[in-house]
Amino acid sequence: MFFGKKRKESNSKCSILSIQILQYEFLGPILLDEWGPPMEKLVYLILSKDQDKFNILYVDDCEKTDDKSFFIQHPDFKCWIQKSGSEKSLYLAILPMFESSKDQRQNVRNKILSRYKPPCNSVNASKTEPEYNIRKSEEISLPQKIICLCCGSEMKAEQILEKSTVYRCASCGLSDTKLNC
Separation of CA 95 from chain center: 16
Label residue 150 by pLDDT band (50, 70, 90): confident
Distances (CA, A) of 163 to 80, 132, 178, 180: 54, 19, 9, 5
Mean local confidence (pLDDT), 57-64: 95
At 167 the pLDDT is 86
Label residue 5 by pLDDT band (50, 70, 90): very low
The share of the chain scoring above pLDDT 90, in percent, equals 44
* Sign of torsion over alpha carbons 65, 69, 72, 75: negative
Residues 6+ apart with CB under 8 A from 112: 21, 22, 43, 45, 56, 59, 118
DSSP assignment of 45-102 equals EEEEEETTEEEEEEEEEEEEE--TTTTTTSTTHHHHHHHHSSGGGEEEEEEE-TT--H
Query: Per-residue pLDDT for 151 more than 60?
Result: yes
Mean local confidence (pLDDT), 141-156: 77
Composition of the chain by helix, strand, coil, percent to 5 = 20, 40, 45
Mean local confidence (pLDDT), 146-171: 85
Q: In what order do the strands lie in the sheet with 39-50?
A: 18-21, 24-31, 90-96, 39-50, 53-65
Label residue 21 by pLDDT band (50, 70, 90): very high
**First vs last Cα of the chain: how many Å apart?**
65
At 143 the pLDDT is 53
Query: Per-residue pLDDT for 72 more than 80?
Result: yes
Full-model pTM:
0.61
